[in-house]
Amino acid sequence: MANITQSIDVEVPVTTAYNQWTQLEEFPQFLSFVDTVTQIDDVTNRWVVTIGGVQREFLTKITEQHPDERVAWNSVDGEVDHAGVVTFHRLSDTTTRVTVQLDWNPEGLREKLGAVLGIDDHAVKKELGEFKSFIESRGGETGSWRGDVA
């Protein structure tokens, strides 16, 4: 299993960063590999992604979610085996550190080679930069879900 950990500091309050991250259906606006996310219920989401020119579909379940702190998930069905957590750390009233930890099972030679070479790590770092640009340029979130999942 490949492990990735990346962080970025965004110039918005922790609540703004967290609220935006809960808007999974908006992910295609700032994550280039995400084609669509469809929310099925409060904890289940269907993802369609294209990575390395290969389109994949899978379901995730949110396993833990605490407002302004963390969102954890794992895949439960489909073509991608992974689990992850995003944490939100208040650095100041106007700055938040967003940290992504992702464990995934690369399949096929291309994905395994990419993981060994750190291409997956670089991709997560790049996509966090896109999140930063998106949320800072807006100055506010597109919506929020403040539910708690234990």
Helix ranges, 1-150 (H) = 14-21, 108-117, 119-138
Domain chopping of the chain, boundaries: 2-138
Quote the pLDDT of residue 116: 72
Report pLDDT for 81. Answer: 86
Give the pLDDT of residue 37.
97
Say what the pLDDT of residue 115 is.
65
- Residue 15, Cβ density class (10 Å: 0-12 exposed, 13-18 middle, ≥19 buried): middle
Assess if CATH 3.30.530.20 describes domain 2-138. yes
Determine the angle formed by the axes of helices 119-138 and 108-117, rounding to 10 degrees: 80
Q: In whole angstroms, what is the distance from residue 61 CA to residue 125 CA?
A: 23
Rounded distance between C-alpha atoms, residue 127 and residue 33, angstroms: 9
pLDDT of residue 109: 72
pLDDT at 24: 95
pLDDT by 10s per residue, the chain, length 150 = 889 999 999 999 999 999 999 999 999 999 998 999 999 999 999 999 987 788 989 999 999 999 999 999 999 998 888 899 999 999 999 999 999 999 987 777 777 677 677 777 788 899 999 999 999 999 899 999 999 998
